[in-house]
Amino acid sequence: MRRERRKSQKSRWLFFCDLCETFASSAFKNPRCFMNLLEVNNLSLQFRTRSGTVQALEDVSLSIDKGETVGLVGESGSGKSVLSYAVLGLSDAAARVTQGTATFDGLDLLAASERDLQDIRGREVSMIFQNPKVALNPIRKVGHQLQDVLARHTTTLRADLATRAIECLAEMKIPDPTRRYHAYPFELSGGLCQRVMIALALACGPKLLIADEPTTGLDVTTQAAIMALIREKARATGMTTLLITHDLGLARAQCDRIVVMHAGHVVESARTEVLFNAPQHPYTRQLIGATPVGRAALSELTAVRGSLPDLRRTDLPACRFSQRCDFYSDACAKPLPSIVDGGHLVRCHHPLVLECVA
Ligand SMILES: Nc1ncnc2c1ncn2[C@@H]1O[C@H](COP(=O)(O)OP(=O)(O)O)[C@@H](O)[C@H]1O
Ligand code: SF4
Ligand SMILES: [Mg+2]
């Protein structure tokens, strides 16, 4: 809370809050200032399919503070994308939330109307999808797609839409933005499509950006350039970022905090340096062991053993990592505990003792 005070019309002193960017009559009046931007509590979600019910998320909790960059990591199939779609109300028709809550800036996302969600998506929360060639409209010029977003969510005058759309392309360092404005997605390379996707996501200055595997399939140089663009924007505007990736190295380089998912469970979350130096969950430890760090030789890397359990099983164990774990004991059949120590959460009956791994 900035100590800036102004006289209101009724001659009362008002305090300006940097976080919610509003004036309040008391320094501690607005409870939204003290809320996390995104808060998911005990969320469970299943898909009804012909071959059975997929228990895609179970008891998932996650919170993201304003301005933070949080990494959501885990193998493919852990539930990272399902979680982000559920939060944005974009889940498949077969999906059903069976318990839990999700709030964005104080708004109950699971109870919000489709109209409210449409207002929030694009303007307040934006998403970069995993595959830009699929996410972009193939029969509409990229400039026109940008104009559509600007017209829907901003107050840009109709006469200025094209200029602003070209500016958005230029901000993403797309060469020759005026020519690219008239291009169709199939005329652009994968890297350029990804930049267009990011331009669309950032056009309205969202409070929260959800980037789902934003650099998968791109070469290392383009990957670094794209992550630099996102970071630059986040720094300049105070944007909060949820970076979804299976690449632990990328998450380590980009994120303040990391949340680890395995088979629909959040198993650990901690500040990045704490998670890498002292992972407490056996799965996190195996993931880190499989991640190249610095100049580590390939022979030093170890693959994560086994595979994810079939989430259609009706007899899924309380700990979904149990069949891959070296530390299994009878206690592991009991419901998972949530052990929290100074912001470090681990959901395991036998958390590993602190030791330096990386
Ligand atoms: N529409 C769907 N119908 C049935 N199962 C689904 C559907 N979408 C996702 N799943 C299942 O949910 C689990 C998590 O998927 P996902 O969130 O895409 O994983 P990832 O962590 O790779 O993003 C997977 O087992 C996947 O098969
Ligand atoms: S709860 Fe038990 S089986 Fe699961 S990760 Fe911890 S030690 Fe391993
Ligand atoms: Mg995914």
> Model's pTM, two decimal places?
0.87
Model confidence at 27: pLDDT above 90 = no
Question: Percentage of the chain surpassing pLDDT 70?
Answer: 87
Q: Which residue's CA lies nearest to atom 6 of ligand 1?
A: 47
Q: How far is the CA of 218 from the centre of ligand 1 (A)?
A: 23
pLDDT confidence of residue 305: 84
Atom index in ligand 2 nearest the CA of residue 336 equals 1
Separation of 83 CA from ligand 3 center, angstroms? 9
Instruction: Tell me the best of 260, 349, 352, 353 to mutate to test the pocket of ligand 2, counting ligand atoms within 8 Å of each CB and taking the most.
Output: 349
Residue 19 lies in a domain: yes
Give me ligand 1 centre to Cα 173, in Å. 33
- Does residue 313 fall inside a structural domain? no
Q: Is the residue at 3 inside a domain?
A: yes
The 3-class SS string of 30-90 reads CHHHHCCCEEEEEEEEEEEECCEEEEEEEEEEEEECCCCEEEEECCCCCCHHHHHHHHCCC
How much of the chain exceeds pLDDT 90, in percent? 69
Q: Which atom of ligand 1 is nearest to the CA of 308?
A: 25
Q: 113 or 6: whose pLDDT is higher?
A: 113
Residues enclosing ligand 1, CB less than 6 A? 47, 49, 54, 56, 74, 76-82, 92, 94, 311
Ligand 2 site: residues with CB under 6 angstroms?
282, 319, 321-322, 325, 327-328, 332, 348-350
* 8 within some domain: yes
Which atom of ligand 2 is least distant from the CA of 283? Answer: 5
**Looking at per-residue confidence, does 49 or 31 come out higher?**
49
pLDDT for 260-290, tens place per residue? Answer: 999 999 999 999 999 999 999 999 999 999 8
Give the pLDDT confidence score for residue 356 in this predicted structure: 44
* pLDDT greater than 70 at residue 45: yes
Neighbouring residues of 198: CB distance < 8 A, sequence distance ≥ 6: 128, 172, 214, 226, 229, 230
Asked, for residue 27, whether it belongs to a domain, the answer is yes
Ligand nearest the Cα atom of residue 334:
2
User: What tens digit of pLDDT does each residue of 164-211 get?
Assistant: 999 999 988 899 999 999 999 999 998 899 899 999 999 999 999 999
Mean per-residue pLDDT, 77-86? 96
Structure confidence at residue 129 (pLDDT): 87
The mean predicted confidence, pLDDT, of the chain is 88
What is the number of structural domains in the chain? Answer: 1
Mean predicted confidence (pLDDT) in 51-71:
96
Cβ neighbours around 220 below 10 Å, total: 8
Q: What is the largest CA-CA distance in the chain?
A: 71
271: number of Cβ within 10 Å: 15
In a domain, 14, yes or no: yes
Residue 294 has pLDDT above 80, yes or no: no
Q: Which pLDDT belongs to residue 138? A: 95
Q: The domain containing residue 27 runs over which residues?
A: 1-34
What is the Cβ-side half-sphere exposure of residue 63, based on CA atoms within 13 angstroms? 14
* Alpha-carbon gap, residue 138 to 222, rounded angstroms: 22
The mean-pLDDT minimum among 15-29, 73-87, 89-103 falls in 15-29
pLDDT at 11 over 70: no
How do residues 223-272 score in pLDDT, each as one tens digit? 888 899 899 989 999 999 999 999 999 999 999 999 999 999 999 999 99
The 10s digit of each residue's pLDDT in 300-341 is 778 888 899 999 999 999 999 999 999 999 999 999 999 999
**Residue 219: band (very low, low, confident or very high) from pLDDT cuts 50, 70, 90:** confident
Does residue 10 lie within any of the structural domains? Answer: yes
- Sheet strand arrangement including 265-271: 125-128, 208-212, 240-245, 69-73, 257-262, 265-271, 344-346, 339-341
How far apart are the CA of 338 and the centre of ligand 2, in A? 12
58 within some domain: no
Task: Quickly list DSSP for 284-298.
Answer: HHHHHHTS--TT--G
